[in-house]
Amino acid sequence: MRLRDYPTGPIRERDHAGLRRMALGAGLTVCLLGMVLGYVALKVNEVRMGYKLEDLRALKSDLEELNRQLRLELATLKSLSRIEEKARTELGFTLPSHGQVLIAREFVGEEGGRGSVRTAWEERIEPTGPRVP
């Protein structure tokens, strides 16, 4: 054997206990780092959800206001006095005269499936009860 083939540095045995301690330390560091990163990710998600919740609350408030305005507009548009005024001014409608109105009393079905409406005008109903002179 030649001199070159021999190791020139000190000969050391492997320290298995030291390697185990180093691997355990590295594993604990990785676990601790994972827990810290998980905690930070949860806090970031919490802040993001907080912003989203505020946006949804603002949207709900806006929609409730719009709903209130639309209900008010609907009530205004359904107002009978407004409809009557528009019918008179824009469409030229007038109030009916006394002879133009017939009051329907009942719906009477006929044979063959067709029916007719009888009115108080057609039947000439006499009031019942004692007559006052």
State yes or no: pLDDT of 116 exceeds 80: no
Q: Give the model confidence (pLDDT) of 23-42 as tens digits.
A: 999 999 999 999 999 999 99
CB 104 within 8 A of CB 121: no
pLDDT digits (tens, 9 = 90+) for 64-109: 999 999 999 999 999 999 999 999 999 999 888 877 877 766 655 5
- Domain for residue 6, yes or no? no
Q: Both 69 and 20 in a single domain?
A: yes
Query: According to the model, what pLDDT value does residue 5 have?
Result: 66
What the block records as the tokens of 58 is 């603002």
Range of the domain at 109: 83-123
The answer to the question of residue 3 being in a domain is no
Sign of CA dihedral 34, 36, 38, 44: negative
Bigger pLDDT: 10 vs 127: 10
Whether residue 64 is found in the same domain as residue 99: no
CB 118 within 8 A of CB 108: yes
Alpha helix locations (H) across the chain?
A: 16-78, 80-89, 120-123
In a domain, 8, yes or no: no
